[in-house]
Amino acid sequence: MTRKKSILSGLLVMTSLVCTSCPAWGNSETATYTKTDFAMDTVVSETLYTSGEDITDKLVSTLKDIETNWLSWTDEGSQIYQLNQNARSTQEVSDETAGYLQQTFALSEASDGAMDPTMGKVIRLWDIDGENPHVPDEKELNSLLKDVGYEKVTLNGDQVTMPEGVTLDLGAVGKGIGCDAIKDILEQDKKVSGAIVNLGGSSVMSYGQKPDGSSWQVAVTDPRDTEGDYLGVVSLNGTEFLSTSGDYEKYFIEDGVRYHHILDPSTGYPARSGLTSVTVVCSDGLDADGLSTTCFVLGREKAKKLLEQYNADGLFVDDSGHVYLTEGMKERFQLMKDTYSVSE
């Protein structure tokens, strides 16, 4: 049985709102624009506060451009696709792609490989998000694991060299990259005073200030009750990025065992760290996206040390119903469900 996140039901509700823009005047100078669309394989919702033009269409177009031209492993025009197709040769990539790779490799090194962008073939073998999710044959899995290892890729400026068999997949940081690109656009438009962009609930960025000066409030899903009330609410202040990774987002059940999509590069199997969900807040989109996945793989104790290196706040939910908060997250998070308890 395959279980995909309840966002599918949300899609049915939101399709009527796709490509609409609704100005609502808070005062004589600042307008509020909202938009719901689809990009990066998820629902994207935007709220923009500006005294200038509505640029919500531009923001979504940017996400689609990044996915198609930079990150996709199936689109022939994508730089990642071209790198994978031409392994064994040194290839030149854009400054932006080189920067994404460098930042991702830095996280791989800092986590001792718990984040590894060369896991693409293994991810597709499991096909957890596809039509045939299954536990793979062990021999086939082990044969693909031989080509896994971020250290096999050489990045020298804009030049990328990979041995034959190695492939890159930036899916674990893709939404974060999109949020970083949106931030760059918002910073260039001086008439924008605030915005919040939500990519499927798992990646959220806040920018600037709300008209009333209050914090941005982001709901966190209960990993064991995705259709019910939220686990709690995290406050974002100014320009910040939030990312959540959990075993409830994409998974299938075989012989009574839940197999989720967050794979441990050291085993090739879904990570078994005792966690069901990790939420990270920091000042960079790519880092937030990558850290939530990496921390899920590492487990709470190792993850806390990694978050300190990145000056990031973390929220951990374990499989016993306990919630653990880093010091910074204690100031942000409000628990809403009495079926969980906050532990030290």
Residues 244-284: tens digit of each pLDDT:
999 999 999 999 999 999 999 999 999 999 999 999 999 99
Task: Identify the pLDDT of residue 175.
Answer: 97
Residues 52-95: tens digit of each pLDDT:
999 999 999 999 999 999 999 899 999 999 999 999 899 999 99
Strands of the 232-236 sheet, one edge to the other: 216-220, 232-236, 333-335
pTM for the structure as a whole = 0.91
Kindly state the tokens that stand for 268.
């090739």
Distance, C-alpha 236 to centroid of its chain: 17
Task: Identify the pLDDT of residue 226.
Answer: 85
Task: Identify the pLDDT of residue 9.
Answer: 30
Mean predicted lDDT score pLDDT of the chain? 91
Q: Are 87 and 162 in contact (CB under 8 A)?
A: yes
Q: Which residues 6+ apart lie within 8 Å of 125 measured at CB?
A: 136, 140, 141, 144
CB atoms within 10 A of CB 337: 16
Q: Which domains does the chain have, with CATH numbers?
A: 2-66+173-343 (3.10.520.10), 82-166 (1.10.3980.10)
Task: Identify the pLDDT of residue 227.
Answer: 85
pLDDT, greater one: 17 or 298: 298
Kindly state the tokens that stand for 159.
């030049």
Residues 107-160: tens digit of each pLDDT:
999 999 999 999 999 999 999 989 999 999 999 999 999 999 999 999 999 999
Q: Are 98 and 157 in contact (CB under 8 A)?
A: yes
The H or E element containing residue 142 is helix 138-145
Kindly state the tokens that stand for 236.
């974002």
Q: Are 277 and 269 in contact (CB under 8 A)?
A: no
Distance CA 22, CA 61 (A): 18
pLDDT-above-90 percentage for the chain:
88
Residues 228-248: tens digit of each pLDDT:
889 999 999 999 999 999 999
pLDDT at 6 over 80: no
